[in-house]
Amino acid sequence: PIKAFLFDLDGVIVDTAVYHYQAWKRLANELGFDISEEFNERLKGVSRTESLDIILAHGGLTLPDEEKLELASQKNNWYLDLVSRMTAEDILPGVATFFSQVRKAGLQTALGSVSKNAPLILERIGMSAVFDAVIDGNKISKGKPDPEVFTKGAAELEVRPAECVVFEDAVAGVEAGKRGGMFVVGLGSPEVLTQADLVAPSLDVLTVDEVLAKANARP
Ligand code: G6P
Ligand code: MG
């Protein structure tokens, strides 16, 4: 049976996915090209350095490592500027209700985010003490779609992957959960999150009982 829920942060708990996109778009524009919302799906859940590589390749640019470091830090500064204005009001609809159901059901929780800024964001939205384990970009060596961020979360909670449900908004994150051997709930569009076991537009329309029933019925 399911014992733990593992949550991505950006785009699941809080809408920072939009801020990542805005900051990357600004960077691309300064480099002389643009990135679309559709292209941005490829960046979701992917680490900062890998995202930059994907963007530069899209713009047909090859740059020395030094310059890439500078661009990545420029993007992060713009991103942090947007994040610094965040409060608990930026928590996505349905998250608070869902988490109270999670507690009542006696489930454990972990955060599984590739973001190095995850602890800062949790603090800004007042959710630092909510998770039983927090695995973020500072604790892992391989980003999504590698399952490391979720398998580490399961290990810290002392549960098996088959006892976990992953909540993800990113194609790379859904793949990470599946590769980790977990039941994956995709939050977004079924046309985009094709690998997910269950897809809903957001946590707002899901109940813990419904997710547990589907995940526990998995063959
Ligand atoms: C998450 C986001 C990505 C972001 C990555 C690294 O996975 O979905 O869009 O690139 O974290 O975030 P960071 O805050 O470390 O730049
Ligand atoms: Mg995400």
Q: Give 52-69 pLDDT, tens digit per residue.
A: 999 999 999 999 999 999
Residue type, 189: S
- What pLDDT is recorded for position 201? 96
> What does pLDDT average to over the chain?
97
Q: Which positions make up the binding site for Mg(2+)?
A: 8, 10, 168-169
Tell me how crowded residue 144 is: count the other CB atoms within 10 A of its CB: 29
| Both tokens assigned to 57 | 């390749």
pLDDT at 3: 98
Residue to mutate, 19, 48, 50, ligand 1, most ligand atoms under 8 Å from C-beta: 48
Our answer on whether the CB atom of 185 is closer than 6 Å to any ligand 1 atom is no
* Rounded distance between C-alpha atoms, residue 21 and residue 2, angstroms: 33
Is the model's pLDDT at 176 over the cut of 90? yes
Pocket of ligand 1 contains residue 115 by CB under 6 Å: yes
| Per-residue pLDDT, 218 | 86
Residue type at position 26 = R
Q: Would you say the pTM of this structure is higher than 0.90?
A: yes
Residues present in the chain in total: 219
Residues near 16 by beta carbon (within 8 Å), at least 6 away in sequence: 9, 10, 83, 86, 115, 121
Q: Please choose, from the candidates 29, 54, 34, the residue with its C-alpha nearest in 3D space to the C-alpha of residue 44.
A: 54
Q: Radius of gyration of the chain from Cα atoms?
A: 17
Each residue's pLDDT tens digit, 7-46: 999 999 999 999 999 999 999 999 999 999 999 999 999 9
Ligand 2 centroid to Cα of residue 114, in Å, is: 9
**Average pLDDT score over residue span 163-182:** 98
Predicted pLDDT at 219: 77
Active site residue 10: yes
